[in-house]
Homo-oligomer: A and B are copies of this chain.
Amino acid sequence: MPVRMTSQREIILQELQKSRQHLTADELFRVVRKKMPRISLATVYRNLELLSEAGVIAKLEVSGRQRHFDSEVVGHDHVTCVLCHRVENVRLEGIKEDCPSHGVVDGYIIKGRRLEFFGLCPRCQKKNRAIKGDDTMGCGCGCAKKMLTDEQKKVLQAMADCDGPCAAKDIAAATGLDAKMVSGKIADLKKQGFVDSPVRCKYGITAEGRTAMKG
């Protein structure tokens, strides 16, 4: 049962190695499709599975819905961006020695350990300075929702209540908040995708905004 090096397999491996990120099957599919438009998603999955079983690439077991793959096989830890879910390697000298990766813990025979960091990647730091609250570990993970302030919630609520796009001053009147502050909040909310502006100077709540409001 020889393993053939098909052009599909080659491109998949190539693109994964080229990308310094830890792509999901779907992300890789989109990249590969540019060079080979007729390739099937199933082929990407199949080959990622095959390559990881062969030890050529690593199937990461990081948290989250989708599986990520890594062209670097040797064990290392990861940092995940809580906003964009990008996964990257992290190499912390000193940590490895401090954190035991073998031995017995609570009756378990430890075969290995993995250290996952959660934070904001440089790109998201720039994009989103508005993030408030640091309960990001509240649920035992780093993927807490973007918290809305009470004012932001009020603004969104007012938008949800009035049907159709409404002006900032209407919101100010409805919420009883200062008009200038409302404008600022709207700008922030727009940046986060919770508010859009279908008409110039008129604003409305987005579907994303509605779901954010529930939390």
Interface residues of A (CB under 8 A from B): 52-53, 55, 58-64, 70, 73, 75-76, 79, 81-82, 88, 90-92, 95, 98-101, 105-122, 125, 134, 136-143, 215
Contact = CB atoms under 8 A, between A and B. Distances in A.
A119 B139 contact: no
B140 A60 contact: yes
26 contacts: A59-B139, A60-B141, A75-B140, A79-B105, A79-B106, A79-B110, A81-B108, A90-B106, A98-B99, A99-B115, A101-B137, A105-B119, A107-B121, A108-B117, A108-B119, A109-B119, A109-B120, A110-B117, A111-B119, A111-B142, A112-B136, A113-B117, A113-B118, A114-B118, A114-B142, A115-B115
Contacts of A81: 108
Contacts of A99: 95, 98-99, 115
State how many copies of this chain the complex holds.
2
A83 to B, nearest CB: 10
A150 to B, nearest CB: 15
